[in-house]
Amino acid sequence: MAERGRFELPEPLRVQRFSRPPLSTAQPPLQRSRHSNTGFVGLRVSVCYLFAYFMEATPNFEFPWPSVNVVLEGSSILDVPRLEIKTIGEATSFIQAYGFDVNNPDDLALVWKFFNDSVQFIEKTLADPDFPKVPEHLRSEKALSDIRRLFILASEKEKTADQVYACAILRVMHVMIHLSYDPRLKFFQAMQTQVLNRLDRFIYVDPGNGATYLGKQEDGAGIKLLFFKKKERKDPNREIIKLLHKADSVVEEIYDRVGLRLVTETKLDAIRAVRMLLEKNIISLPNIRPGRSRNRLLDSKRLQFELDRIVTHLNKTSEPAPYIDRMIKRLEKRIGQGRRGRGFLNPHSSEYYQAIQFTCRELVKVRNPQHRLYTQLNSQLPNMSGGDQLLNELFPTIPPAFEYGFFPYEIQIMDVKAYADSIFGKSNHEEYRRKQLNSARDRVFSKKN
């Protein structure tokens, strides 16, 4: 386009008023200001830029929704069907964001250790009939050569055998890593000792018949226990399966690493055991975990009603009455829990499983190793030249003598009938474990995606 026409018109002649006649002589070329970036040229550049931007930005409208939904909807990484890693560099960055540096020999050795443990767990513990053995080219450090290749294989769009196995290995590795570095483990031994020792002070064995009681029988408070078990540590493989089978499980939600099971003769004795645990401060009432209690053994409202009736009749007469004895005998049948259904805490619990189950938290105190080191150095360094300055550099503040932390444990109380059913009946534990294992297999190998 000509800046101003000299020999021919750049566009059709327009009709103009006489007050604005056209210029009769040719005009000199327009002088652009050094600030002149506007006008048609600027507009043309802007349009071209915007066009190029949108053409370039179009691929960014595609999102890896399964991964994004981990953030938006709180879904688990274990349920993401594939990763989004295309290069070795991306794999390096992904692993580093997780917490390991593959360029560090110590970190890399740890990653390979979890890889090997994961392969062994898949083949020996999961033992899925559909996926019995990891392919040879994926099952060892020598065959794979670079751990980052596993992440690229897990990102393949097609659900090939290699992609499925790569994802399975990474899922199990993820759970193993979280279990291994659970910060609560440093409190485990101290917690176990505190809880079990406190309970042991109230467990009595009758030397005459060998019967076990919670509380002293001679005090009139003894509750006969037909079975008493301390679960001192869950099998590590069971912990892995527990985290794999539940959609929202994280390592912080393993509450039964330590547990107690009390089996009483009757349902009434079971609720008496609860009362004793509270009255003797064997458990701490404020530290019972909200939302983790489940009573499927007895109807508490019916129990209160029946006991109130008995107390009312007892207050009317000081002498034994046959009808009061009959009320007490009928009590056991009337307070049974009639409502059944799947457990909301665990979908694999049988609808026939009956127990009082709750989670406590123990405030555990353990000696701080940093304080022990500080004490040793403080007794030696001040006698050396510059020792005080070095001690202050190592310990700007004096570390506390003890560390404190809460550690959960679980208590189950049931009567003998419910216990027998959990061993031999419809709610038997082996069936429960089988369901857990099958769910873990389905999730690890992404069978439902």
- Low-confidence spans in the chain with pLDDT less than 70: 1-59, 217-220, 232-234, 247-252, 318-320, 338-350, 427
Q: Which of 232, 298, 299, 228 is nearest to 264 (CA)?
A: 228
What pLDDT sits at residue 14?
54
How much is the pLDDT for 136? 96
Per the DSSP assignment, residues forming a β-bridge with 410 are 259, 359
Report the alpha-carbon distance of residue 261 to residue 228 in Å, rounded: 6
What pLDDT score does 221 carry? 76
**In this predicted structure, what is the pLDDT of residue 330?**
87
d(C-alpha 215, C-alpha 221), whole Å? 6
Q: What is the pLDDT of residue 133?
A: 96
Residue-level pLDDT at 131? 96
State the pLDDT at residue 415: 95
The β-bridge relationship of strands 356-367 and 212-214 is unpaired
Q: Within 10 A of 229 (CB to CB), how many other CB atoms are there? A: 12
Sign of CA dihedral 126, 132, 137, 139: positive
Look up the pTM and report it: 0.76
Measured between alpha carbons, how far is 307 from 316 in angstroms, rounded to an integer?
A: 14
pLDDT the model gives residue 5: 46
